[in-house]
Chain A
Amino acid sequence: MDKKTVMIVDDSSLARMMVRKIFSTRFKEWHLVEAKDGTEALTLEDSSLRLALIDFNMPGMNGLELSEKLLAKHPDLSVYLVTANIQERMHQRAESMGIGFIKKPIAENKIVDILQAFV
């Protein structure tokens, strides 16, 4: 079976470490790539990319702007904004683009729920 790739984009090392720990202990079948901002994320794309977990408040482009660029290239990509800052207007914009939300701090059970769709 082909390995699926998940991309984590967050300017915080701690936030990336938290997600990395969850995937490396529970979901080893996933290949994980990390980026600290949108610019770096756009250089890391690969054809096996299935899921992107993206922080909202980052230097350069924000999470929604990056999501838009990634979805233009990968229309089937599952994208989730990972943030504590879930405001109504942001929610509406994300929803219209088919983007989901995960509330920070990220926890294993939230990842489990999302990965159900890939089983």
Chain B
Amino acid sequence: MFCLSEMEEDALKEFFNMGLGMAAASLSEMVNNEVLLSLPQLKVVPYEEATKMLVVNQEEKLVAIRQNFTGELTGTALLIFPGAESLELVRTLLNERMPLAVLMELEQETLLDVGNVVLNAFLESFTQMMSIQFEFEAAEFLKGSSSFLLDVSSHLAAQKNSMMAAATGDDERAFVLMMDFKTNDEEAKQHTLSGFMVLLFSQYSMEILKRELKTILATF
């Protein structure tokens, strides 16, 4: 059974915190509002349990921007919004009163742009103290339930090196790092926007990450 020591878990949370800190700063600039962060939660769980960590109605459709990364470390970063919130984000970003039909048309393109900026800021900051090399794949727009979005095997199958992922014999255990965020709604005219950032790793990648954490911690 894979597990992290207390110090490794602490380090990973701190990297996640830094990553989302940078991402929040980028998102804050885009929506011109303060973005408040929760404390990070870190769990190594089967994906069924991971879906319960997303505190939303299972039936509710979620919108996500997925950024797969491959290389020495393979995994998936997801920026997730409840469906209604994603349209609110599009409305905020475009700063115009638009009919719903037009907003829906622009939703995918706009959220992909947002996801690209936010997820790249996140992943760059998350890994800046690591020596691990990896490449980003193109960001993708997804719509679905929490169980669909947190299904590691479907993300792995979508990756370019899915052969490698398949060869690692991954079970459905996910390494889930999660933080939620919301905009500061001090000004009544602003709509509150909230969402989640999730990192999913295969068990194979978790071992690599653990090795990297050990190396970093040994320098102190």
Residues of A bordering B, CB below 8 Å:
11-15, 17-18, 21, 56-59, 83-90, 104-105
Contact A84 B17, CB 8 Å, known A14-B217, A57-B39: yes
Ordered by A's residue number, 13 sampled pairs between the chains whose C-beta atoms are within 8 Å are A12-B14, A14-B14, A18-B220, A21-B220, A57-B21, A58-B39, A83-B21, A85-B20, A85-B21, A86-B21, A86-B25, A89-B28, A105-B18
- A85 touching B24 by the CB < 8 A rule? yes
Residues of B bordering A, CB below 8 Å:
7, 10-11, 13-14, 17-22, 24-25, 28-29, 34-35, 37, 39, 125, 128-129, 184, 217, 220
> Closest residue to B13 on the A side, CB-wise?
A12
Q: Which of A59, A83, A104 is the most central at the interface, judged by chain B CB atoms within 10 Å of its CB?
A: A104
The 9 closest A-B pairs by CB, nearest first: A85-B21, A84-B21, A12-B14, A84-B18, A87-B28, A14-B11, A17-B220, A89-B34, A13-B10
Contact A88 B29, CB 8 Å, known A57-B17, A105-B18: yes
Q: Which of B20, B34, B129, B217 contacts A90 (CB 8 A)?
A: B34
- B125 touching A84 by the CB < 8 A rule? yes
With A59-B39, A87-B25 known, 6 other A-B pairs at CB within 8 A are: A57-B21, A58-B39, A84-B17, A85-B21, A89-B28, A89-B34
Contact A14 B125, CB 8 Å, known A84-B17, A85-B24, A86-B25: no
A21 to B19, CA, bound (A): 22
> Closest residue to B17 on the A side, CB-wise?
A57
Q: Which of B22, B34, B39 contacts A84 (CB 8 A)?
A: B22
A29 to B35, CA, bound (A): 39
Q: Cβ of B128: which chain A residues have Cβ within 8 Å of it?
A: 105
Q: Cβ of B14: which chain A residues have Cβ within 8 Å of it?
A: 12, 14-15
A77 to B25, CA, bound (A): 27
- B7 touching A104 by the CB < 8 A rule? no
Q: Cβ of A12: which chain B residues have Cβ within 8 Å of it?
A: 10-11, 13-14, 17
Chain B nearest CB, measured from A9 CB (Å): 14
Q: Cβ of A11: which chain B residues have Cβ within 8 Å of it?
A: 39
- B18 touching A104 by the CB < 8 A rule? yes
Chain B nearest CB, measured from A42 CB (Å): 20
Q: Cβ of A58: which chain B residues have Cβ within 8 Å of it?
A: 39
Q: Which of A83, A85, A88, A105 contacts B129 (CB 8 A)?
A: A105
- A85 touching B37 by the CB < 8 A rule? yes
> Closest residue to B27 on the A side, CB-wise?
A87
Chain B nearest CB, measured from A110 CB (Å): 14
Contact A85 B22, CB 8 Å, known A57-B37, A90-B34: yes
- A87 touching B220 by the CB < 8 A rule? no
